[in-house]
Structure 1
Amino acid sequence: MIDVDIHKLLNLLVYNPEKPILLNSAFFLYFFTAFLLLYLAVGRSKEGRVAVFTIFSLYFFYMACGLYVGLVIISAIVDFNLSRWIYYSENQRKRKLLLILSIVLNLGLLFYFKYTDFFIGIVNDVTNGDIPFLKLLLPIGISFYTFENLSYTVDVYRREFKPVDNFMDYLFFLSFFPKLMMGPIVRAHDFIPQISKPYELNSEDIGKGIYLIMAGLFKKMVISDYINENFVQYIFDDPSKHTGLECLLGVYGYALIIYCDFSGYSDIAIGIARWTGFKIPPNFDSPYQSSNITEFWRRWHISLSSWLRDYLYIPLGGNRKGKVRQYINLSLTMLIGGFWHGASWNFIFWGAMHGAALAVDKVRLDWLKARGGGSTGWVGTIMKVGGVIITFHFVCFCWVFFKASTFHDAWSLLHQVAFDFQPEVWLELYNGYTTVFWVMLLGFILHFLPKRVETFTELALARVPLVGNVAIMVVFFYVLNQIMSLETMMPIYLQF
């Protein structure tokens, strides 16, 4: 009997491809409790904190994708050494060659796992060839830590940041488990200086952390998972079987799903980081409140948007080489941003649509600036509300291609909305999906709440004694367990 129990326990502690560890999985609660107890025990020692955090981070990654954890370690070894050679070399040609080597190695690794089959498919289509697909398993988080490696070596090359002397500090930064799988994309110059600071946890950190973790779990496990499992997935599986009204509501639902799913994970990551003494910038800022597409990309996936701006758009020339070149740079940046999301023509089209919209919006903003600015007063308010509605629907239109498996499915859904709307089925639809639509309404209401509501809640939690906060978390997890979906839903951005 004891041997059987030990065997079961060992099975739980070994990577299972059918049940990878996730921030919203039951195993993570035990993992995080053990981590936090050990982390607090060594809290006074910088070396102890780094060691505990790094070991748990690598184990977390192992439980998420098995032996691919080795890629994180190899990436850390390569870029730790290359960055130091770049920084301490006085030969500019050598420095540039080392930077190019870092870029080639990082992007080469990403392209091999993520895009090899995509380009094999293109070659086969063009040449009528029959090159077999490699069918590589995409390592979880590779897109995120690749971009972190690249920003680190580029910043070192620009002499904007001195490379770390301790390899464990860099491995700790790269493997930091709260953001390892799904971001945010953290810059080394924001994170690494915090490693040496004394670990101090105040009431503000506790309140902020609790709010972010609870909000993130609620968005992911209650709103996103429920709507996806009970409505949206049915629509996108075969849009042609549904009326245009169902398809439109399915698109609205997906807009909420992808926001709650991804921002929920980001909130959890930022909240956990806050509890462990690290401040990570927010990754989302109520993006559907945006009144134009430029504002939307300042609020959506902020860490990716800013990364593309600093390491792609500006090096391409930004707005320094004339208006036409600026519009081309915007379009090209978003096209590459779409390709970053996945090896699919759908993602490329999605990125191209956003790039074109950003270029058009830049023309509009320049025209308004030349006229002395936009409208004010009640006219300005109406224009802003109209801008929010138009921007939201453009983003939703693009989400159709982001979500749909093929172009055919995307156009099929749009065809249903345009030519087979059938508004008369609304009552039957409501009766069939009453709870889903109320959850959707709740999600949008929470999204459009003023920022001060979030600030008030954080401050209120900060004033609650530690015992009270523990009680709040226990009650929250109990309620969450009662209402969450029975099956753990894989995060959407895990595939990127």
Structure 2
Amino acid sequence: MLFPTIEFALFFMAVLPLTWALNRRNELKKLMLVGVSYAFYSCWSVAFLPLLVLSSVGNYGFGRLIAACEGPRRRGMAVGCAVALNLAPLCYFKYYDFAAAQLQSLADLAGWPVALGSTGLAVPVAISFLTFHGISYVVDVHRRTIPASRSLLDLMLYVSFFPHLVAGPIVRAAEFLGQLARPSDPGRIDLSGSALLILGGLFKKVVVASHLSVLYVDPVFTNPGAYGSVDLILAAYAYAIVIYCDFSAYTDIAIGVANLLGYRFPQNFDQPYIALSLQEFWRRWHITLSSWLRDYLYVPLGGSRGGRLLTLRNLVLTMVLGGLWHGAGLQFLVWGALHGVGLAAERGLREATDPRGRLRGFLRSEAGEALRWILVFHFVCLAWIFFRAPDCASALDYLAAISRGLGGPAPLAATPLVLALMAAGAATQLAPPALAAAARSLYGGAGLPAKVALGTALAWLVAMLSPSGVAPFIYFQF
């Protein structure tokens, strides 16, 4: 059940009034939300529904066990078992076939008669986000950041809550469980802001990302040899816009839907393509994943506590594993490694001595900031080529086609419509925050009839501009 569909609209129109009708009966409301979240997940796969139950029950039990353990050694053993059991389904469903294929290749080269086979199973929808939520919960209990939940129902809702279940944002237990303790406050509902987030998300996904993918990005990446270098470069820029519009659209809709139900989610995007460094990019892109990788991977690896070389190693390793999380493929490892090496190089440059401060002064000037933006943006777009390609060989073929095409002109395949969609997509994240605040203020200050009329008109406009079918969100595959 995709967000930008009539089916989800009808589903949400039933859930919203029921949620508020049960608001004063908080336990019953939470039970209902667990039930509808399970129904939402069942639309994808009933067969994998037990994963939600096992994750909830298992992490609830481990949370209670960790809290009861005395001494750091016992708590460490308990949390280690909890993390391992959270990772087991992810490793089996998502990475076994990939690992088996690599080992099989090595065995064949060595002449060993080994047949590792494959699972032949589809990867369960939401398994990565399910794993992240489970691990963050048990680790936070271990760190005494939060107390172990005394309510299995609360943990079941935390794990399965349908707005964030499939593709995030990654919501920490510390951010969510406290909201379940009492009925939601209707006065905290930002109706206007939520409506604009949902409508804006629908525009980014349905109008910009879907059309731009079908009309331009998919054909160029499928057969790069048939296009000139200008189209190949433009398609890389277009994919940067597509993945931003697609993923930020999902989280915008998720945040808006959750708020209308009485719950707050953290921000997940903050104009990432205006970043002047890779470190800043990752503080603006998929913020909840970046902070998760920092707190639950980079810090446990040692963070910046072990000296310069170990810090750089930890940066690279964190990003390589972050790349692998996105997909079981060498292209994702390369994508993560590029960002890891880039972040390590940035850190090394920042720590390099500059006795007279001339370089630092230049980098802080307008010309220096423009140069930094150009370098960072193009580095990100270059890395996106590996992220989008089906494999490493295809990504290298794409880059080779760009270099071959530089030798001569070729007919431009990008139409005015494609360029207009790219401009619209860029505007959705380059527009100043003050403009969005003004729109929220203007919409919020209108009367109820005006709000309904304008919201309906915008929804109708998005529907009229939408393609005949809406593709799943890109991050569903992760």
- TM-score bracket for this pair, using the shorter chain length: over 0.9
Aligned residue number for residue 429 of structure 2: 447
* 1:468 CA displacement: 3.0
Is 2:62 aligned against 1:78? no
Report the residue type matching 1:163 in the other structure. Answer: A
Question: Structure 1: 5+ residue runs without aligned partners?
Answer: 1-20
CA contact (8 A) 2:363 2:372 kept: no
Pair 1:69–1:422, CA change in 2 (3 A): farther
* Aligned counterpart for 2:138 among listed residues 150, 153, 157: 153
* 1:425 CA displacement: 3.9
* 1:423 CA displacement: 6.8
Structure 1 residues 133-160: Cα deviation after superposition (integer angstroms, max 9, x where no partner): 2222111111011111101101101111
Is 2:213 aligned against 1:228? yes
* Aligned counterpart for 1:345 among listed residues 320, 323, 330: 330
Pair 1:181–1:202, CA change in 2 (3 A): same
Is 2:454 aligned against 1:472? yes
Q: Counterparts of 2:258 and 2:323 in 1: how far apart (Å)?
A: 28
* 1:224 CA displacement: 0.4
Q: Counterparts of 1:182 and 1:378 in 2: how far apart (Å)?
A: 37
Moved more, 25-34 or 38-47: 38-47
Q: Counterparts of 1:320 and 1:370 in 2: how far apart (Å)?
A: 25
Is 2:172 aligned against 1:187? yes
Q: Counterparts of 2:472 and 2:29 in 1: how far apart (Å)?
A: 30
Question: What SS class does the counterpart of residue 65 from structure 1 fall into?
Answer: coil
Structure 1 residues 326-365: Cα deviation after superposition (integer angstroms, max 9, x where no partner): 1011001001000111110000111011000000011122
1:372-451 equivalences in 2 (<5 Å): 380-421=365-406, 424-425=409-410, 428-430=412-414, 433-451=415-433
Pair 1:382–1:179, CA change in 2 (3 A): same
1:35-434 equivalences in 2 (<5 Å): 35-128=15-108, 129-202=114-187, 205-367=190-352, 380-421=365-406, 424-425=409-410, 428-430=412-414, 433-434=415-416
Q: Counterparts of 1:304 and 1:226 in 2: how far apart (Å)?
A: 27
Aligned residue number for residue 4 of structure 1: none
Is 2:462 aligned against 1:483? no
Structure 1 residues 247-290: Cα deviation after superposition (integer angstroms, max 9, x where no partner): 11111111000111001101000111111221111111110000
Structure 1 residues 40-97: Cα deviation after superposition (integer angstroms, max 9, x where no partner): 2112221132122111111101112222122011100000011101102224433222
Structure 1 residues 140-184: Cα deviation after superposition (integer angstroms, max 9, x where no partner): 111011111101101101111101111101101111110000001
Report the residue type matching 1:281 in the other structure. Answer: P
* 1:204 CA displacement: 6.2
Report the residue type matching 2:284 in the other structure. Answer: R
CA contact (8 A) 1:244 1:413 kept: no
CA contact (8 A) 1:245 1:423 kept: no
CA contact (8 A) 1:203 1:463 kept: no
Q: Counterparts of 2:15 and 2:116 in 1: how far apart (Å)?
A: 46
CA contact (8 A) 2:354 2:360 kept: no
Q: Counterparts of 2:357 and 2:49 in 1: how far apart (Å)?
A: 54
Question: What SS class does the counterpart of residue 31 from structure 2 fall into?
Answer: helix
Q: Counterparts of 2:57 and 2:363 in 1: how far apart (Å)?
A: 58
Question: What SS class does the counterpart of residue 401 from structure 1 fall into?
Answer: helix
Q: Percent identity?
A: 34
- Aligned-residue Cα RMSD (Å) equals 1.9
Is 2:477 aligned against 1:495? yes
Count of aligned residue pairs for this structure pair: 473
Question: Structure 2: 5+ residue runs without aligned partners?
Answer: 109-113
Q: Counterparts of 1:310 and 1:360 in 2: how far apart (Å)?
A: 21
Q: TM-score, normalised by structure 1?
A: 0.92
Q: TM-score, normalised by structure 2?
A: 0.95
Question: What SS class does the counterpart of residue 43 from structure 2 fall into?
Answer: helix
CA contact (8 A) 1:291 1:387 kept: yes
